[in-house]
Amino acid sequence: MSGDQALIVGAPQITSGVPIKAVIRKVDARVLRFGYSRVAVLPGRHEVLVDCVMANHAVVRFPLVIEAEAGRQYVLRAVSTPGNRTCADVKVDER
């Protein structure tokens, strides 16, 4: 990532032992291929499509809007319902 870009970070699509993860599927019109867990973007408004994936393979899809600033990282964090039964939300932690 160069200093004039921002970075959107999700979980790697292949993990072991993680009960819940946020996987980036699409940023604006760009579909991410299997295996990509981060994408550099220019500053501005970005529409992000995220799959929240549970260890039992249940998937809930969330559309997000991120207002990106240059030099910042936006880490996607999956949130489960009590008992880890399904995905409740995907939060964006700015760093």
Task: Determine, yes or no, domain membership for 86.
Answer: yes
Residue 72 has pLDDT above 90, yes or no: yes
Task: Determine, yes or no, domain membership for 10.
Answer: yes
More confident position, 85 or 69: 69
Average pLDDT of the chain, as a whole number: 89
| Contact call for residues 72 and 94 (beta carbons, < 8 A) | yes
| Contact call for residues 67 and 95 (beta carbons, < 8 A) | no
Task: Determine, yes or no, domain membership for 53.
Answer: yes
* Whole-number pLDDT of residue 10: 92
Q: In what order do the strands lie in the sheet with 20-27?
A: 30-31, 20-27, 44-54, 59-68
More confident position, 50 or 3: 50
Question: Which residues is 24 bridged to in the sheet?
Answer: 50
User: Total structural domains in the chain?
Assistant: 1
Q: Can you give the residue range of the structural domain that contains 46?
A: 6-94
The pair phi, psi for residue 83, each rounded to 5°, is: 85, 5
Farthest-apart Cα atoms in the chain, separation: 41
Query: Could you read off the pLDDT of 19-65 as tens digits, one per residue?
Result: 888 999 999 999 988 777 899 999 999 999 999 988 888 899 999 99
| Contact call for residues 26 and 33 (beta carbons, < 8 A) | no
Residue 1 has pLDDT above 80, yes or no: no
